[in-house]
Chains A and B, each alone.
Chain A
Amino acid sequence: MAYALQQLINGITLGMIYGLIAVGYTMVYGIIGMINFAHGDVFMVGAYVGIIVLTAFSGMGLTAVPLGLLVALILAAGLCAIYGYTIERVAYRPLRGSFRLAPLISAIGMSILLENFVQTSQGAKERAIPSLIPGGITLMNENGFVVQLAWMQIAIVITTLVVLGIFTYLVTKTPLGRAMRAVEQDAKMAALLGIDTNRTISMTFVIGAALAAVAGIMFLLYYGVIDFYIGFDAGIKAFTAAVLGGIGSLPGAVLGGLLIGLIEAFWSGYATVAYKDVAVYSILAIVLMFMPTGLLGRNDVEKV
């Protein structure tokens, strides 16, 4: 019982991290129907900005962790937003209206560019920080098996849920959200009705990138170790989560992430660690066979 609870905690935390990144994939897909493969790398840039700020803070002898975190979060979100805007402007907008695969390939190109940029500018070794928010609560103790819930794990779950809430509100209740939905349904018609589609799409990228920065900081705080490659690994899993949950759906992204996290934890816990990715992708394949649009995806009728 205690063991299952601990694995549940492990799975939920991991799943929420995937979900947090997946929201960014799903937003961009929702509005322009394109997979932004560079999203995972913007997430990685966010984590690096975080580690640079936090290291600078401790280097200056400042020990106020909350202040450092706040500065790191604001700087990372701001910088990543600029990255997001630039990537869209440079690599995607010129290709809009081109054939479908063109922006996909340029997205992969941007992803490699960011990885190599960080590798050369920040070094190829992994960077680590000590745990800034250590400790947690002991939930139960069953025959010596102690179930630990770390403060960071609670923080991750809360962050993801808050982010999901904010974005759902943004998309359904605000003028920007209305514009986003209009562009999603029919970009040409939206433009005819006076919506600035370029601005709307840019805003989506800016918001998505800021979100990736938040995810990057959470990742850094939870694991404490990052390298220039984390965007690729986490990005692939988050993308899978978005597809599993139904790409284009915000709650679907978090649900998909949660499912993948839980499958990984319970498969590792009760079957074998070695085959956990096989389990994840097998379940993805099975779900897609029966529900081609994912768990919460809508059935778009193809216009003829």
Chain B
Amino acid sequence: MVLAAGFGLAAHPALAQVKVGVAGPMTGSNAAFGTQLKDGADQAVADINAKGGVLGKKIDEIVVDDACDPKQAVTVANQLVADGVVMVDGHFCSASTIPASKVYTENAILEISPASTNPQYTDGGSWNTFRTCGRDDEQGKVAAEYIAHHFKSDKIAVIDDNSTYGKGIADQVRMNLKKLGVPVTYSTSYTAGEKDYSALISRLKQDNIGLVYIGGYYSDAGLMMREGAAQGYHPQYFGEDAMVTSQLWQIAGPAAEGMLMTFPPPAEDSPAAAAVVKALTAAKEDPTGYTLYSYATIQVWAEAAKKAHSVKPLLVAKELKSGGPWNTVLGKVSFNKIGDIVPAAYAIWKWHDGNYKVFATK
């Protein structure tokens, strides 16, 4: 054992590799998003390595599975630390990203989440936490404003799955609706992973709810819409960025027709992303959702490391904040003092016939 460890250590410099971690829900009910994160990162690593890597070192990608479970997130974070990564692309669920970030901070490793939108993540003020997606205070505001403009005459329900992310975004929507003077008729939390939502559906039906805002993940939301349709209940559903996966339509079927959701404007249509989208599509991988965000995470880190002439996390972090704007597949981006991406816009998307498209930009 000791011998093997000794050889392992000795072998490192010779290989001239730099290790980065990719952490997300590779299994469990959010596995569709784990796939998006992995696909984006795989493509970015392949593209960068094909051009000679970062500062002459090839990127070695280590993928770990947190199953969106906070305890497992801490375990795999420690595993990545032991593996000697300098940067982590992840995690996905805010409830995983936040506890894992403590591990990365203690060990001075950079964490760039492509998907965790809960404000607490960067509000903690650590030097090493970044994200390439928006924040729920902005996302919740956009959703609430849209609802206030277009669904004023409807009775509104706001429900959430009691997770860090789901309750976080739903609370933002509740708060912003209140500010805008729109009453919320019904408000509750359901249990994530539940299969029977019939009682909740009947309740919404009884209260004559015309718009249901769901703060939660796609698997629960999809099932809820499906069971609603079976009861002959067809309100306007409104979701958020944890529903941008074709898995939602697989579960809900036509019951999801017309569902609205908030997500950043499409990155896959921009010229900056054209080559990457082509490569992903050729590999039969879905370029929508968070795939390009994960790509941009690796990309922006590599750019900053090149500019800082080092992969040392502290130097790269400084460079990320001061050295922008960066050219990425998401377009030109930079980071503010706490590591949030600028600009971070949200658009309204709509489900139609198994696909989601931008419906309105405000």
Name A residues whose Cβ lies closer than 8 Å to a Cβ of B.
3, 6-7, 10-11, 13-14, 119, 123-126, 128, 130-131, 134, 136, 138, 144-146, 148, 150, 219, 223-225, 227, 229-230, 233-234, 264-266, 268-269, 272-274, 276-277
Q: In the complex, what residues of B have CB within 8 A of residue A223's CB?
A: 195-196, 223, 227
Q: In the complex, what residues of A have CB within 8 A of residue B163's CB?
A: none
CA A3 to CA B208, docked complex, whole Å = 12
Q: Check if B200 sits within 8 Å of A125, measured CB to CB.
A: no
CA A230 to CA B195, docked complex, whole Å = 8
Asked whether B155 is an interface residue with its Cβ less than 8 Å from the other chain, the reply is no
Q: What would 21 A/B residue contacts be, using CB atoms closer than 8 Å? A: A3-B202, A6-B205, A10-B199, A124-B28, A126-B29, A134-B230, A223-B227, A225-B219, A225-B226, A225-B251, A227-B219, A265-B202, A268-B200, A269-B199, A269-B206, A273-B188, A273-B199, A273-B203, A274-B188, A274-B191, A277-B191
Partner of A125, one of B31, B194, B223: B31
Known: A10-B198, A268-B199. A125 touches B230 (CB 8 A): no
Q: In the complex, what residues of A have CB within 8 A of residue B230's CB?
A: 131, 134, 136, 148, 150
By size class, the interface of chain B is: 35 or more
A209 to chain B, nearest CB (A): 21
Asked whether B27 is an interface residue with its Cβ less than 8 Å from the other chain, the reply is yes
Asked whether B78 is an interface residue with its Cβ less than 8 Å from the other chain, the reply is no
A273 to chain B, nearest CB (A): 5
Q: In the complex, what residues of A have CB within 8 A of residue B159's CB?
A: 273
Asked whether B164 is an interface residue with its Cβ less than 8 Å from the other chain, the reply is no
Most chain A beta-carbon neighbours within 10 Å: one of B199, B208, B223, B230 = B199
Q: In the complex, what residues of B have CB within 8 A of residue A229's CB?
A: 28-29, 193
CA A265 to CA B219, docked complex, whole Å = 21
B200 and chain A: residue at smallest CB distance = A273
Contact pattern, B 174-204, Cβ under 8 Å of A = 1, otherwise 0:
0000000000000011110111101110110
CA A10 to CA B202, docked complex, whole Å = 9
Known: A125-B32, A126-B219. A265 touches B232 (CB 8 A): no
Q: In the complex, what residues of A have CB within 8 A of residue B231's CB?
A: 6, 148
CA A123 to CA B26, docked complex, whole Å = 10
Q: Check if B31 sits within 8 Å of A146, measured CB to CB.
A: no
Contact pattern, B 243-287, Cβ under 8 Å of A = 1, otherwise 0:
000010011010000000000000000000000000000000000
Asked whether B120 is an interface residue with its Cβ less than 8 Å from the other chain, the reply is no
Asked whether B222 is an interface residue with its Cβ less than 8 Å from the other chain, the reply is yes
Q: Check if B202 sits within 8 Å of A269, measured CB to CB.
A: yes
Most chain B beta-carbon neighbours within 10 Å: one of A225, A233, A264 = A225
Most chain A beta-carbon neighbours within 10 Å: one of B28, B202, B208 = B202
A215 to chain B, nearest CB (A): 13
The 5 closest A-B pairs by CB, nearest first: A268-B199, A124-B27, A10-B198, A274-B189, A265-B199
Asked whether B75 is an interface residue with its Cβ less than 8 Å from the other chain, the reply is no
Q: Check if B199 sits within 8 Å of A124, measured CB to CB.
A: no
B75 to chain A, nearest CB (A): 17
Q: In the complex, what residues of A have CB within 8 A of residue B49's CB?
A: none
Partner of B247, one of A125, A145, A268: A125
CA A3 to CA B199, docked complex, whole Å = 10
Q: Check if A274 sits within 8 Å of B226, measured CB to CB.
A: no
Q: In the complex, what residues of B have CB within 8 A of residue A265's CB?
A: 198-199, 202
Asked whether B162 is an interface residue with its Cβ less than 8 Å from the other chain, the reply is yes
B246 to chain A, nearest CB (A): 11
A120 and chain B: residue at smallest CB distance = B27
A232 and chain B: residue at smallest CB distance = B193
CA A124 to CA B226, docked complex, whole Å = 21
Q: Check if A227 sits within 8 Å of B29, measured CB to CB.
A: yes
Q: Check if B251 sits within 8 Å of A126, measured CB to CB.
A: yes
Q: Check if A128 sits within 8 Å of B199, measured CB to CB.
A: no
Partner of B31, one of A13, A124, A233: A124
Q: In the complex, what residues of A have CB within 8 A of residue B222's CB?
A: 128, 225
Q: Check if B199 sits within 8 Å of A7, measured CB to CB.
A: yes
Known: A119-B27, A272-B188. A145 touches B206 (CB 8 A): yes
B35 and chain A: residue at smallest CB distance = A125
Known: A126-B251, A225-B251. A3 touches B27 (CB 8 A): no
CA A122 to CA B258, docked complex, whole Å = 31
Known: A225-B222, A230-B195. A130 touches B247 (CB 8 A): no
B253 and chain A: residue at smallest CB distance = A130
Q: In the complex, what residues of A have CB within 8 A of residue B193's CB?
A: 229, 233
Within 8 A of A (CB), among B11-38: 26-29, 31-32
CA A224 to CA B219, docked complex, whole Å = 12
CA A265 to CA B162, docked complex, whole Å = 19
Given contacts A7-B202, A14-B198, A138-B232, 12 further A-B contacts (CB under 8 A): A10-B199, A126-B29, A126-B247, A131-B226, A131-B230, A134-B230, A223-B195, A225-B223, A229-B29, A233-B194, A273-B199, A274-B190
CA A266 to CA B205, docked complex, whole Å = 15
CA A157 to CA B222, docked complex, whole Å = 25
Q: In the complex, what residues of A have CB within 8 A of residue B162's CB?
A: 274
Partner of A11, one of B189, B199, B203: B199
B259 to chain A, nearest CB (A): 16
Q: Check if B28 sits within 8 Å of A3, measured CB to CB.
A: no
Q: Check if A128 sits within 8 Å of B251, measured CB to CB.
A: yes
CA A42 to CA B29, docked complex, whole Å = 20
A244 to chain B, nearest CB (A): 18
B255 and chain A: residue at smallest CB distance = A131
Q: In the complex, what residues of A have CB within 8 A of residue B190's CB?
A: 273-274
Q: In the complex, what residues of A have CB within 8 A of residue B202's CB?
A: 3, 6-7, 10, 265, 269
CA A125 to CA B219, docked complex, whole Å = 10
Q: In the complex, what residues of A have CB within 8 A of residue B247's CB?
A: 125-126
